[in-house]
């Protein structure tokens, strides 16, 4: 098991009695905060995976009668987030996820609904995209496919490897 950090946003700031109920329901691994008129619960929950941690936390919170309106996690990322974090295009991220580019091993989505997929950065995307940053052919960086000539005449000149160590 490992600890997963995330925040659940509630429909209102919990009262003192509701905070006591949250503690009794198993949310003793959360820190409450009031932001504007909503309540935020910052969790550091041990679980086998992020999905299990989120599911158990939401279940515990809603067992008290409170309503979870949103989830915030730096680990859950869309392909647009992957592109932004790696300094690449959305198309490069889409090709990594589909296995059509990069070293392979891009993890499956943690969840997918209504055409949106969310991936776990911690469970491998950061590593896979870092490896691919040093292996791809330049097209993932948004280079014009014609810039290498139609014959594929060698590497892109003056391309320097770059370190990808920013995660947010």
Domain limit, last residue, from 49, 72, 95: 72
Q: The domain spanning residue 10 has which CATH number?
A: 3.30.70.980
Does residue 164 sit within a domain?
no
Report the predicted TM-score, pTM, of the whole model to 2 decimal places. 0.55
Q: Radius of gyration (Cα) for the chain, nearest Å? A: 20
Say whether both 65 and 86 belong to one domain.
no
Q: What is the pLDDT of residues 76-86, one digit of tens each?
A: 888 998 888 88
Distance CA 30, CA 68 (A): 14
Does residue 57 sit within a domain?
yes
Say whether both 82 and 60 belong to one domain.
no
* DSSP code at position 151: T
Say whether both 6 and 68 belong to one domain.
yes
| Through-space distance between the first and last CA atoms of the chain, rounded to whole angstroms | 24
Q: How far is CA 62 from CA 9, 43, 94, 96, 128, in A?
A: 12, 15, 35, 37, 36
Q: What is the pLDDT of residues 86-127, one digit of tens each?
A: 888 999 889 988 889 877 788 888 877 777 788 887 776 665
pLDDT at 125: 67
Distance CA 66, CA 92 (A): 40
Does residue 158 sit within a domain?
no
Say whether both 68 and 124 belong to one domain.
no
Total domains in the fold of the chain: 2
Say whether both 91 and 63 belong to one domain.
no
High-pLDDT (> 90) share of the chain, %: 36
Whether the pLDDT of residue 57 is over 80: the answer is yes
Crossing angle for the helix pair 126-133 and 90-98, to the nearest 10 degrees: 110
Determine the number of helices (DSSP H) and then strands (DSSP E) in the chain.
5, 7
Domain limit, last residue, from 37, 55, 72: 72
Q: Which of 72, 73, 69 is nearest to 38 (CA)?
A: 69
Q: For residues 140 and 83, which has the higher predicted lDDT (pLDDT)?
A: 83
Q: What is the pLDDT of residues 6-28, one digit of tens each?
A: 999 999 999 999 999 999 999 99
What's the domain range around 136? 76-142
Confidence tier at 155 by pLDDT (50, 70, 90): very low
Tracing tokens 């991936």 back to the chain, one arrives at 119
Say whether both 68 and 86 belong to one domain.
no
> Helix, strand, or coil here: 19?
helix
* DSSP code at position 138: S
Question: What is the pairing mode between strands 76-77 and 116-120?
Answer: antiparallel
């Amino acid at each position: 098991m490992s600890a997963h950090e995330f925040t659940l946003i509630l429909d209102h700031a919990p009262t003192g009695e509701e905070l006591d109920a949250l503690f009794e329901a198993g949310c003793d691994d959360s820190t409450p905060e009031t932001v504007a008129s909503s309540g935020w619960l910052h969790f550091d929950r041990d679980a086998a995976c992020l999905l299990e941690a989120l599911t158990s936390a939401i279940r515990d919170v809603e067992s008290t009668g409170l309503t979870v309106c949103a989830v915030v996690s730096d680990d859950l990322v869309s392909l647009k987030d992957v592109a932004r974090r790696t300094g690449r295009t959305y198309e490069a991220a889409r090709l990594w996820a589909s296995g059509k580019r990069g070293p392979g091993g891009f993890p499956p989505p943690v969840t997918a609904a209504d055409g949106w997929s969310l991936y776990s950065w911690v469970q491998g995307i950061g590593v896979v995209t870092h490896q691919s940053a040093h292996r791809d052919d330049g097209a993932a960086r948004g280079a014009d496919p014609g810039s290498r000539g139609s014959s594929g005449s060698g590497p892109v000149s003056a391309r320097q490897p770059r370190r990808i160590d920013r995660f947010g």
